[in-house]
Amino acid sequence: MREKSKIVTVEPADYFPREVRGECKLGEFAGDKNLTALMLGLAVGDALGVPVEFSSREELDMHPVTDMRGWGTYPVPEGTWSDDTSMALATLDSLKHDRIDYNEIMENFVRWAHHDEYTATGKRFDIGGICSHAIQNFIMRGHTDALLSGIDGEHSNGNGSLMRIAPMAYYLWRKGYEENRAIEIIHNTSALTHAHMRSKVACGIYSFVLWELLRSPCKGSVLQGLTKARNFYRGEIERIPYEDRLMKRIGRVFFLDEKAENLPMPSREEIQSTGYVVDTLEAAIWCIMTTNDYKSCVLAAVNLGEDTDTVAAIAGSLAAILYGMDAIPAPWLTTLQNREYIETICRACHKRWKK
């Protein structure tokens, strides 16, 4: 019989005013801490996973990550974030102009990949194969037609667009975009590098979950977001082969019962944490739903092994919205390399978006 993990519901993050802790409309509330929490939550999770990326679960069970480390898989100091945060920052840096410009986002990716911008230590040390291929396509096209740069093959469903989708999803919520248009933009943003429908849908599912957490930061909002994603993609589900049906995989874990307290959860052994976008999304949400605070969530994600930085980055971004920025351990924030740079871009966005 499958082990069942209890889901613990929590109260909304207490920095939210009481009157907005319940349901609210898309973009109705966006406190100044939200974007900063999102980006720092992502970066801290990323940095925790960098030193042990590609480590097996068995290795991490013997020597689990419990704090920031350095000089592991890559020759970088503790608190160093990777391509996950860099590409998210490159996206956010374009959005700070309060417009969506796909070519500019790709230009920022070029600046990161070829000129070491948007990095933690001034030097890029990691890049995914599909992202690299898409960036080269954009360059070969004369730095135009960004939406034609991405790779759409069956084997191009790594997590390289999911890991950077958070700032775009936040911006669409903050600006009050209508749902259909918002998901269209999410799909386009994925397609800059990862143009297969499965990668687009994964980014869409993440966005639905984030939007519900922004409306009401509690565990039930994760399930509400997944339910909205299932309903939105119902037609698309029928066109995805059964054995690879993304929503079927996510649904196996999260759509079994309407009541969260009775929801059977898979055991840790059943969760995969590879770079395949379906595994990554499923693992990140599993970590959210089976832990009670930011620290436990990201450590659970890292210690699953394999693609440790990306699973922890995605889980960390959602956990930071769920629990609030104050839930991110202060020593980790202090250790985080180039933290001021992340906060500077966030402040520039708040300043421009308020106009």
Q: pLDDT tens digit string along 290-308?
A: 999 999 999 999 999 999 9
Question: Which structural domain range is residue 48 located in?
Answer: 23-257+265-353
pLDDT bracket for residue 275 (50, 70, 90): very high
**56 within some domain:** yes
Q: What angle do helix axes 339-353 and 166-174 make, rounded to 10 degrees? A: 20
Q: Residue 17 — pLDDT band, cuts 50, 70, 90? A: very low
The answer to whether residue 240 scores a pLDDT higher than 90 is no
Prediction pTM value: 0.88
Please check the confidence at residue 167 and state whether its pLDDT lies above 80: yes
Is 80 exceeded by the pLDDT of residue 183?
yes
Eight-state DSSP code of residue 143: S
Confirm whether 94 is domain-assigned. Answer: yes
Three-state secondary structure call for residue 347: helix
Q: How many CB atoms lie within 10 A of CB 99?
A: 10
Q: Is residue 79 part of a domain?
A: yes
Average pLDDT, the chain: 87
13 falls within a domain: no
Average pLDDT over residues 133-162: 96
Residue 272: alpha-carbon gap to chain centroid: 17
Alpha-carbon torsion 191, 196, 202, 204, what sign? Answer: positive
> Looking at the domain assignment, is residue 6 inside a domain?
no
Those residues whose C-beta lies under 8 Å from the C-beta of residue 206, and which sit 6 or more positions away, are: 162, 165, 166, 169, 281, 314, 318
| Helix runs in the chain, H state only | 32-49, 57-62, 83-95, 102-115, 129-140, 166-174, 179-191, 197-215, 219-232, 234-237, 246-254, 277-289, 294-302, 308-323, 330-335, 339-353
Residue 15 lies in a domain: no
Q: What is the structure's pLDDT at 259?
A: 47
DSSP state of 7: P
b/e 254-270 (16+ beta carbons within 10 angstroms → b): beeeeebeebebbebee
Q: Is residue 153 part of a domain?
A: yes
CATH number, residue 347: 1.10.4080.10
Look at the chain and report how many structural domains it folds into. 1
Is residue 41 included in any domain, yes or no? yes
